[in-house]
Structure 1
Amino acid sequence: MVSLARTIRNLRRVGFREWWRQMQYIGDAKSGRFVGSDQFNNRYYENMNAEEEIPGRQRWVDFSQHEYNASQVPPEWHSWLQHIRKDAPPQDPIFAKVSPPWKAPHIENLTGTRGAYKPYNTVKPKISAWEPQVKARA
């Protein structure tokens, strides 16, 4: 439950412009500690004050693009957002040590866009479409 006092407190902390942006994008006024950003310039925040945040909603992402979706969050940041990992990727010693050479760079899901994968078929169709025969009238 979002209280009016909490909303006003966060408005004072982040300023009117950022407060208005948050209300438009995430529908809630939040303030917290900046944790880091990813290769897509998405910014990640955390507020562990139990009196201010709803349990499970202490971590959030501020997307850099206006048209955003969840597939724009890389897997290491996703595990931090979902409380699978305690430490964020910049502070996590495991992520600092391990960088597998086989790991490809993360790309978002392009389904429904011009960049989506479209397979092509080289097999002749079993049923051919009807093509009308046009004859001249007498």
Structure 2
Amino acid sequence: MINLLKRIFTWWHQSTIGTGLTLWQKKARLVGEDHQGNRYYEEGGAKGTFPEGGRRRWVVYHGVAEGSRIPPEWHGWLHHTWDEPPTVSPVPVKKFEKPHLPNLSGTPLAYRPHGSISVAGEPAPEKKDYEAWSPEG
């Protein structure tokens, strides 16, 4: 029962029943899945609902719904930057490109510079290389 209520009212753990109904109503077809388990859909039918017959595209997140979890190649397909999904026409990876990482803010893996209050240990030494402004003089 609790899982049914979560599917009806929450969107941050998995797709809701409303998303499932929308995908069913639009006759969406599964186009592919990324390495994180996110599934990508495109509107089916003879003609799409966008102007000039364009088709709507969706992502159904596997786990937490966080936009930064979409890899660049799928982001480009979702936003109609290219027509073919990465499953049909893989995007070439240049040797200087790093692997995609989601936004790590608020997680234990977030960047914390030396002196940050969230870093354990001694605070960074205070620098005295400037003089604070004073309105009196």
So what's the TM-score if we normalise by structure 1?
0.61
- Matched residue count: 105
1:33 and 2:40 matched: no
| Displacement after TM superposition at 1:72 (Å) | 0.3
Q: Give 2:56's aligned residue.
A: 58
Question: Post-superposition shift, 1:109?
Answer: 0.5
5+ residue gaps, structure 2 = 1-6, 9-13, 116-122, 129-137
Give 1 or 2: higher helix fraction: 1
Alignment CA distance shift 1:25-1:124 (3 Å): farther
Contact 1:43 1:64 in 2 (8 A): yes
Distance 2:20 2:50 in 1: 14
Q: TM-score, normalised by structure 2?
A: 0.61
Once superposed, which parts of structure 1, at least 4 consecutive aligned residues long, lie more than 3 Å away?
A: 19-28, 48-57
Gaps of 5+ in 1: 1-18, 128-138
For 1:100 and 1:51, locate their aligned partners in 2 and report how far apart those are by CA, in whole Å: 36
1:42 equivalent to 2:38? Answer yes
- 1:7 corresponding residue in structure 2: none
Once superposed, what is the RMSD of the aligned Cα atoms?
Answer: 3.1
Give the % identical residues.
35
Structure 1 or 2, whichever has the larger Rg, is: 1
